[in-house]
Structure 1
Amino acid sequence: MRRIGLIAGYGMLPVLWARNAQKKGVQVVTIGITPETKEDELKKYSHCYYQISIGELNQIIETLKKEKIENAIMLGKVQKVQLYQGLKMDERLLNLLKNLKEKNDDAILLALVEELANEGIQFLKQTTYMEEFIAREGNLTPELNLSPDLLNDMQFGFKMAKEIGRLDIGQTVVVKDGAVIAVEAIEGTDRAILRSGELARGAVVAKVSKPRQDFRFDIPTIGLTTMKNLVAVGARGLVVEADRTFFIQQKEVLELANENGIAVVAMR
């Protein structure tokens, strides 16, 4: 039986992957790396479960080796801001970070991937066993009217989000009437959306992948939490990148979107 290591942040994405992997006959060895990781739900689909802080890189690697893991996958949210808020880090992680000239998302994650590769552990694409959760192109809320000005903001937001992705700043921008209201940086998508609500109502949120996205990590994801935040700030639209975005809890998300008049579009 195939064994795959799951390095799990918080949110539903790791749970959905573990469930699908188990259905495929995979033995899932899970390491939860944040206090918010859904431990109880993950244990239902895991052959074994470990809780290890993201700062304990050496223990994470040694655990995967002990479990004879040759392939692993990273899924779930990890707040990068922890790096600047007193996260206790072991010597291995400190050395890894110290040797990086840049500490943007891609640089850190690629360094982690290479560190594990040196120990014989290869990372799989996050899309493995997750095809059903990929957003497909089109208007996902056809009941709602896409006015010309709304569509213009969606196209503008998409273009701006691609640019900040190219610079590896973030994945999300919030726009209104052809102006950028908020840009995601270290705080993450949810906080960027909530911050935009302090500046403008009726905005459009755009979330996209990076132009040269490495599908082993950090694929953009939207779900019920995203939509609840859009409702909270009075947004009028959400645009994501078709075929390159995870869209989880789709039924609940689209019901909430329709109830609140928030158009959802996946475009290229």
Structure 2
Amino acid sequence: MKVMTVQSLALVAGEGKLPEEIVSRLAGNNQPPVVYALGGSPDRFRSLGAVEVIPLVSPDLDFLIGDVSKRGVKNMMLAGRVPKTLMYRPEILGESLGKLLQELESADDHSLLGAIVSAIESAGIMVMSYRDVIPDLLAPAGPVAGRAPTASEMEDINYARSVAKVLLPLSFGQTLAVYRRAVIAVEAMEGTDMMIRRAGDIVGRGVLVKMMREDQDERYDLPTVGPSTLKNMAEAGLACLAVEAGRTIVLCRKEFSHIAREAGIAVWGIS
């Protein structure tokens, strides 16, 4: 991994553990970033070695680009969850992002994130990939945690993959819940955890499959699973999780594996 000078990198950090992991590793590699914290407590990054933490009360592109440029920072990473429902609150978006949303032909995730990244890069700031920072967190092919899938679970995994290949180009359906080759629930704007709970309410059993569209930008938009994913699955009665090998981040691997074993959940990497 190329070593950058102090304050040569900014991280826009949404919710979740992924931004914390990235900050910790960058600081440990003598690349401490300036963190723009959008969601969660900003204090969590100070103890991890961030050069500075700037709380963002809203996804205001004008402020973000202006502040990063003022500091002379030329590289940026984007990581963590940012609720897409913020797009329905124009009063907090700032002029540039509000205008960008109005001009989009489609506000699906792929189009929206791509337009935001284009706006950042047009200001002379390069959006960097975080893959090289966390290579060991990417799911392997085959066994990831817990037991192996049963034959019927593998049939559901393969069925879900065939459905996902149709839905993903439309920029939704990144996660599917399937049971006996029938779709129980499809992830949309609500996010994976709420979708899992909905699947549990509908059937209370089945397989969860998480994939990404072929042309999804892996610099900043890799699917992520972690202990909370498995806890929600166990509560919902879903006993098997399939994720794309090399294209899915598995957080808190030790705890993740422990929960999978204790709950009897199969976690499998597919390609």
Question: TM-score higher than 0.5 here?
Answer: yes
Partner secondary structure for residue 244 of structure 1: coil
TM-score, structure 2 length as denominator?
0.93
Deviation at 1:54, TM superposition (A): 3.3
Q: 2:73 aligns with which of 69, 75, 89?
A: 69
Q: 1:39 aligns with which of 39, 42, 45?
A: 42
Tell me what 1:140 maps to: 144
Q: 2:206 aligns with which of 194, 203, 206?
A: 203
Residues 162 and 39 of structure 1, relative CA distance in 2, 3 Å threshold? farther
Tell me what 2:122 maps to: 118
Please list, as runs of the form range in 1=range in 2, the aligned pairs for 1:118-197 lying within 5 A after superposition.
118-141=122-145, 144-197=147-200
Tell me what 1:23 maps to: 28
**Contact 1:174–1:204 (Cα < 8 Å) also in 2:** yes
Partner secondary structure for residue 33 of structure 2: strand
**Contact 1:201–1:234 (Cα < 8 Å) also in 2:** yes
Residues 240 and 145 of structure 1, relative CA distance in 2, 3 Å threshold? closer
Tell me what 1:83 maps to: 87
Partner secondary structure for residue 205 of structure 2: coil
**Contact 2:157–2:242 (Cα < 8 Å) also in 1:** yes
TM-score, structure 1 length as denominator?
0.94
Tell me what 1:102 maps to: 106
Partner secondary structure for residue 155 of structure 2: helix
In structure 2, C-alpha distance between the alignment counterparts of 1:92 and 1:69, rounded to whole Å: 20
Deviation at 1:87, TM superposition (A): 5.9
Tell me what 1:265 maps to: 268
In structure 1, C-alpha distance between the alignment counterparts of 2:254 and 2:165, rounded to whole Å: 27
Unaligned regions of 5+ residues in structure 1, if any?
A: none
Deviation at 1:126, TM superposition (A): 2.8
Identity of paired residues, percent? 29
Deviation at 1:136, TM superposition (A): 0.6
Count of aligned residue pairs for this structure pair: 265
Q: Which amino acid aligns with 1:14?
A: P
